[in-house]
Amino acid sequence: MRKVNIFDTTLRDGEQSAGVNLNALEKLEIAKQLERLGVDIMEAGFPASSKGDFQAVKSIAETVKNSSVTGLARTNKKDIDAAWEALKNSEEPRLHVFIATSPIHMTHKLKKTPNEVIESAVEAVKYAKSKFSHVQWSAEDSCRSDKWYLAEIITKVIDAGASVINLPDTVGYRSPEEYGELFRFVQEHVPNIHRVVLSAHCHDDLGMATANSLAAIEAGAGQIEGTINGIGERAGNAALEEIAVALHIRQNFYQAMTTLKLDEVKRSSQLISKLTGMTVPGNKAVVGANAFAHESGIHQDGVLKEATTYEIITPELIGVSSNNLVLGKHSGRHAFKDKVAKLGFELSKERLNEAFEAFKELADKKKEITEDDLFAILTDKQTEA
Ligand code: KIV
Ligand code: ZN
């Protein structure tokens, strides 16, 4: 089984979500939870972007011991120096430096020629390598870049000292098949590629970030980047909890694993949701409130007989104590009887039938039946002569 490193960027790309602004203490609290979760690398921020982010990255780098801490920099000395000052006291100083490689970005944003971009990337990696023990280089917008140009710049950046090459799908453009193809192409056409770890970094603009990350793993990526709850720029980044749980549940298929402590997933999700103010949708895979909720009678009956009928993930795997049989208009007698017993009521068969009818009548009028509703119905039936 091949190990895939988890590079968490909740505190950098995740914090770039519109409307999210974490202070240094909040970032530190999240960093400690990410360390408990067991991420291999955490990107704590972009030190040159603000004094606050510089301080946050510095305090995380000085506190976290069991995950590597990194920070983002553009390919200029000022950014790299700021990152060094923030990260130099970490256990294993690590830099993430990037420059865009697509014609759209080089022409309109950077206003540089392809050769100037190569020079800038090589110079920055060499300079960073004179300070940091590990340097990751990212080809921003790699998925809309010319693949032969990518192969050339990657070869040169590896010779300059990069040990991780990241191929971001910056705008969430590619399909899983195409993203996997990029990884295969680079492995076939970059002669020194065996010296580095290849990393995937996906955005979710077309809803394919998790699928693309898994496709990259199938095509040989050794590192996956993403955020908890999939927060991030625009439609967000790949949701790490989805990728890690998919690898766990389908390990025979992917033949790859992470060393995340999956029973810390729910707690991480809740903390990040609370501190960022970004609510997790109820139907969100793995961490949504409904991920282990069953409402229909057929499903409830199946789950009560054998949970695996409708659950491929056990709630305990991600740190949730149990599944949840929600009582609503689609629920059946079996789940109702189970709930009555759990609430401590003992009713005769006849009274139980009447209570079930009363519950169904109410369920037609309300979205969800609460425990208080049930108590009212059951107490009535228990006390009826
Ligand atoms: O999406 C992206 O391209 C990025 C880079 C800075 C790695 O976040
Ligand atoms: Zn990104």
Query: Which residue among 104, 138, 145, 227 is best mutated to probe the pocket of ligand 1, counting the most ligand atoms within 8 A of its Cβ?
Result: 138
Angle at 375 between CA 371 and CA 379, to 5 degrees: 170
Q: Which residues lie near ion ligand 2 (Cβ < 5 Å)?
A: 13
pLDDT at 32: 98
Residue 293 has pLDDT above 90, yes or no: yes
pLDDT tens by residue, 321-345: 888 899 999 999 999 999 999 999 9
237 carries a ligand binding annotation: yes
pLDDT at 196: 98
Q: Using CA atoms, how far apart are residues 194 and 70, in angstroms rounded to an integer?
A: 23
pLDDT at 385: 58
How are the residues of the chain apportioned to helix, strand and coil, as percentages rounded to the nearest 5? 50, 15, 35
Residue 104 CB neighbour total at 10 angstroms: 12
pLDDT tens by residue, 138-193: 999 999 999 999 999 999 999 999 999 999 999 999 999 999 999 999 999 999 99
* 45 backbone dihedrals φ, ψ, rounded to 5°: 160, -160
Angle at 175 between CA 44 and CA 212, to 5 degrees: 35
pLDDT tens by residue, 231-250: 999 999 999 999 999 999 99
Strand partners, 43: 70
Query: Which of 100-104, 276-280, 339-343 is predicted with the least confidence, judged by mean pLDDT?
Result: 339-343
- pTM of the entire predicted model: 0.94
Number of the ligand 1 atom closest to the C-alpha atom of 168 = 3
Helix H or strand E encompassing 68? strand 68-74
How many angstroms separate the alpha carbon of residue 278 from the centre of ligand 1? Answer: 21
Residue carrying the six token digits 């360390």 = 35
What is the CA 103 to chain-centroid distance, rounded? Answer: 29
Distances (CA, A) of 32 to 5, 62, 183, 228: 18, 12, 32, 14
% of the chain residues with pLDDT over 70: 100
